[in-house]
Amino acid sequence: MLSKLHPIKLRSPISFCFLLIFFCNHTVFASNAIISQRDDAQKIFTNYKDRIYQIRVIEKKSNKKSSIGSGFVISGTGHIATNFHVVSAIVHSPENYYLEYLDQSSNKGPLTLLSVDVIHDLAIVKADLPTQDKLNFSKSNMDVGKKLFSMGNPHDLGLTIVEATYNGLLERSRYNKILLSGSLNPGMSGGPTLDRSGKVVGINVSTAGNQISFLVPVKYLEKLYKELETPENGNNDIDFHQQIESQLIIDQALFFTHMLNLNWEKDTLGDYELPGKINQQIKCWGESATDEDRIVDKSISQCSTEDSIFVSRNFTTGGLKYVFKQISNRNLSKLHFYQIYSQYFTNQITANRVSKRFVSNYSCQSDFLKIAKQSWKTTLCARRYKKYASLYDISFNMAEVSHDDKGMVFQLSIAGITQEMSDKLIKRFIEEIKWRKS
Amino acid sequence: MAKIIVEEINRFGHVAHFHQFDSLPIYIGRDYKNDVIISDPYVSPKHVMIHANDQGWDVEDLNSMNGVIIKNKLGRERKNFIRPGDEITIGRSRLRFFSPEYAVDKTRPMSHSRNLFKQLSHPLSTILIIILCLAFFISEEKLETTQQLTVLKTAINIFPFFSVAIIWAGLWALVGRVSRHQSLFLTHLIIILVFSVISKGLSNLGDYLSFNLFLEPYFSSYYFLTIGILLAWMLSINLYYGTNLSRRARLVSSSMAGIFLIVLISLNKVNYEGEFQSYPNYAPTLKPPFAKFTKDNTVDAFMEKSKVIFDIDIKKESPDESGQ
């Protein structure tokens, strides 16, 4: 779905060409109407280009850059803001990588990571820079349609400026983001998006292609910077894993507590009343197939959150997904029907993507449970995060086994939740499943 | 002992020639002056001489190049001494010695009443069994499928199994023809068919048991163990009909094959043991209500019981990759 912007591992000649073509067309077909806006962009570029840096992650052995992103100065003393995903390699493998900045005059210098906000994908690094001008944060609310200017280093091509349009705050996203109509490209991650007066409104973070891009609202950066300035956080030896773990724990507690306090929207499927779209951040899709050549009828309802937290290139978390599958027999024998029904009980849904470096294997417990007056075969599986030991990925699966000719499968997948919260959430889901017939 | 009978034994364990002598000693070797002439390049021209003795014979090595190996049936009494029924090997040739008084084995009946498989191999019953097996496998096939099955599709699905069964029976028939002068193709065919049905049946039984008792983690071990035992059992029956091996040799070789299979599979399993799996690994098997005999638990009790799965030792699995 969404792709993070930063990691450029190889620069393909093809993408190079595409960009060139784009710029050519733009020049040829430019009309007078947009010249004044072009002037804005020109002004902003000239005024602020010195406050924007390229952030490079350098691999120690080869001394070559492993990935690049952008960053911008937020203090007079060398604090630079960027995305967490730009610098995450430093957190996970400090022994293999170091950070470096590159300014507009090609000066290089070392960077130190000071603080991260894994939830909103932000990081603050510090460079040993002479006192200089910073970019200020915008405090005002914006109207949809406002012109904005995104800056950064797309594909390591040098600093560029992109005109874009503000399209409001994404309310249906679990992690507040600004929807931007404009092309953000890999390498622009961590760069600022400015309004006409040169104030930062957001930090470039990701794109879904076709001019759909996302920004982190600047208020989260402001908060992270303020925390950094309070004396107890001023020391340099923060354990970033500890910081990330506590941020993840607080975030899941907030999200799921809020969810548990809501009245859940109901859905009906077959003989059941089931949880539907629980809150604003969850999207649901339906699918049913009753065509002639099938041997069973099925209708499936699937709901999930749409965005996730980036922890590493091989580790995302913070997702929730649940599926209800109602399967009914057409004219098979009951043995045959159950054979087919079993296939719908296999688990292929997952709320996140993660490599074995970060999680244990799943460990499972099974039983038959009486839920909504029916018998269900139930399996609860959990895997633990290796670096954040109070957090788990949960896979809860149950299939009704009370009828010869129909069945219902419920599968719930949660990424990054504590044991206590998962217990409450699963119980709540079970309570919300009700048999409609008396 | 005065009279002696010398048996030359071929490499299938069959008697190739008999020689009978009324007086001793006798000479055995490759040249034409011997009493028993053996055309084996590893036998010396004058290899051994057999003397008479009280209860048997003495074997005297006549300075042969490759020596004599003596196999005493009832254990060695003293050096170079043999009794009726004992065997010597000179070069690559086996010779067995008997006296006329030696008692021979009982006569075998043309058909054993105890021979279940041989009795079943009557063409009519064979056809019946093949039809039953077909019916069994077709119904199994039908249970697995997600589409409407056509006759052709079923035939295509079942064909590989039946060809393997026929090849298996054919191989054993060949072995039987060579070593026992009896091929018994139908018997071997029935053996493999019956054992396939038994193994499939046991695996179905395992399905029902693991559905009820949550034995999923052990299911594959159960399955491979049954496969190993069934294979050993089937092989011992194949060996019985196909070879002249003694009961002990049959048991040893067939159980070795079974154990080998089990070890091979378990090694493979151990290999995959610590592997990372991105999805939870639970068996999705569901069975209709009639097959369920386990009582329902309450949600609270289940959640309480599930606490153990959160207790995962993450120290044990240390990160082994570096870099992102």
Q: What was the ipTM of the complex prediction?
A: 0.80
Give the confidence band of A26 by pLDDT, cuts at 50, 70, 90: very low
3 state DSSP class of A230? coil
B273 touches chain A (CB under 8 A): no
Number of H helices, E strands in chain B: 7, 10
How many other CB atoms sit within 10 Å of the CB of residue A438? 4
CB contact (8 A) between residue A295 and residue B303: no
CB contact (8 A) between residue A375 and residue B214: no
Q: Which tops the pLDDT comparison, B217 or A375?
A: A375
CB contact (8 A) between residue B286 and residue A401: yes
Smallest Cβ distance to B317: which of A293, A335, A360?
A360
Smallest Cβ distance to A401: which of B216, B289, B297?
B289
Residue-wise pLDDT for B250-271, tens only, equals: 899 999 999 999 898 888 888 7
Smallest Cβ distance to A336: which of B142, B280, B295?
B142
Report the pLDDT value the prediction gives residue A320, as an integer from 0 to 100. Answer: 92
A23 touches chain B (CB under 8 A): no
B304 touches chain A (CB under 8 A): no
The DSSP H or E segment spanning B54 is none
B312 touches chain A (CB under 8 A): yes
* Half-sphere CA count of B320, side-chain side, radius 13 A: 7
Report the pLDDT value the prediction gives residue A229, as an integer from 0 to 100. Answer: 78
Instruction: Decide if A436 contacts A273 (C-beta within 8 A).
Output: yes
Nearest CA in chain A to B280: A362
Instruction: Decide if A164 contacts A188 (C-beta within 8 A).
Output: no
Report the pLDDT value the prediction gives residue B114, as an integer from 0 to 100. Answer: 53
Q: What does the alpha-carbon distance between residue A181 and residue A185 come to, in Å, rounded to a whole number?
A: 13
Q: Which tops the pLDDT comparison, A216 or B247?
A: A216
CB contact (8 A) between residue B279 and residue A362: yes
CB contact (8 A) between residue B286 and residue A342: yes
Give the confidence band of A292 by pLDDT, cuts at 50, 70, 90: low
Cα A221 from chain centre: 17
CB contact (8 A) between residue A380 and residue B309: yes
Nearest CA in chain A to B215: A366
Is the pLDDT at A25 greater than 50? The verdict is no
Please name the residue that has the structure tokens 């076709």: A210
The DSSP H or E segment spanning B244 is none
Report the pLDDT value the prediction gives residue A209, as an integer from 0 to 100. Answer: 78
The DSSP line for A382-436 is: EEEBSSSTT-EEEEEEEEE-S-SSEEEEEEEEEEEE-HHHHHHHHHHHHHH-EE-
Report the pLDDT value the prediction gives residue B254, as an integer from 0 to 100. Answer: 93
Q: Which tops the pLDDT comparison, A184 or A393?
A: A393
| Cα–Cα distances in angstroms (integers) from residue B169 to residues A434, B192, B234, in the given order | 57, 7, 12
A339 touches chain B (CB under 8 A): yes
Report the pLDDT value the prediction gives residue A12, as an integer from 0 to 100. Answer: 35
Smallest Cβ distance to B306: which of A342, A347, A380?
A380
What is the dihedral sign for C-alpha A142, A143, A147, A151?
positive
Taking CB atoms and an 8 Å cutoff, what residues of chain A touch B280?
A: 347, 362, 364, 379, 381, 383, 395, 397
| Residues 143-162 of chain B whose Cβ lies under 8 A from any Cβ of chain A | 143-144, 146-148
Instruction: Decide if B80 contacts B71 (C-beta within 8 A).
Output: no
Give the confidence band of A16 by pLDDT, cuts at 50, 70, 90: very low
Taking CB atoms and an 8 Å cutoff, what residues of chain B touch A350?
A: 278-279
CB contact (8 A) between residue B319 and residue A426: no
Residue-wise pLDDT for A145-159, tens only, equals: 888 999 988 888 888
B69-104 per-residue burial string, b: 16 or more CB within 10 A, e: under 16? ebebeeeeeeebbbbbebbbbbbebbbbbbbeeeee
Is the pLDDT at B149 greater than 70? The verdict is no
Is the pLDDT at A21 greater than 50? The verdict is no
Residue-wise pLDDT for A49-68, tens only, equals: 888 999 999 998 988 888 88
Is the pLDDT at A269 greater than 80? The verdict is yes
> What one-character DSSP code corresponds to residue A137?
B
Give the confidence band of A236 by pLDDT, cuts at 50, 70, 90: low
Is the pLDDT at A9 greater than 80? The verdict is no
Average pLDDT for A350-367 = 87
3 state DSSP class of A216? strand
> Percentage of chain A surpassing pLDDT 90?
37
> Percentage of chain B surpassing pLDDT 90?
33
> What one-character DSSP code corresponds to residue A309?
E
Reading the block at residue A100, the tokens are: 């470096």
A383 touches chain B (CB under 8 A): yes
Taking CB atoms and an 8 Å cutoff, what residues of chain B touch A338?
A: 286-288
Amino acid at B154: T
Give the confidence band of A290 by pLDDT, cuts at 50, 70, 90: low
Give the confidence band of B157 by pLDDT, cuts at 50, 70, 90: confident
Is the pLDDT at B2 greater than 80? The verdict is no
Measured in angstroms, the CA of A148 and the nearest CA of chain B are apart by: 33
Listed range (A17-21, A204-208, B99-103, B231-235) with the worst mean pLDDT? A17-21
| Cα–Cα distances in angstroms (integers) from residue A417 to residues A404, A427, B32, B303, in the given order | 36, 14, 94, 16
Instruction: Decide if A271 contacts A435 (C-beta within 8 A).
Output: yes
Q: What does the alpha-carbon distance between residue A255 and residue B304 come to, in Å, rounded to a whole number?
A: 24
Average pLDDT for B287-298 = 89
CB contact (8 A) between residue B214 and residue A367: yes
> Percentage of chain A surpassing pLDDT 70?
88
Instruction: Decide if A298 contacts A288 (C-beta within 8 A).
Output: yes
Residue-wise pLDDT for B36-62, tens only, equals: 999 999 999 999 999 988 888 999 999
Is the pLDDT at A38 greater than 70? The verdict is no
Measured in angstroms, the CA of A422 and the nearest CA of chain B are apart by: 10
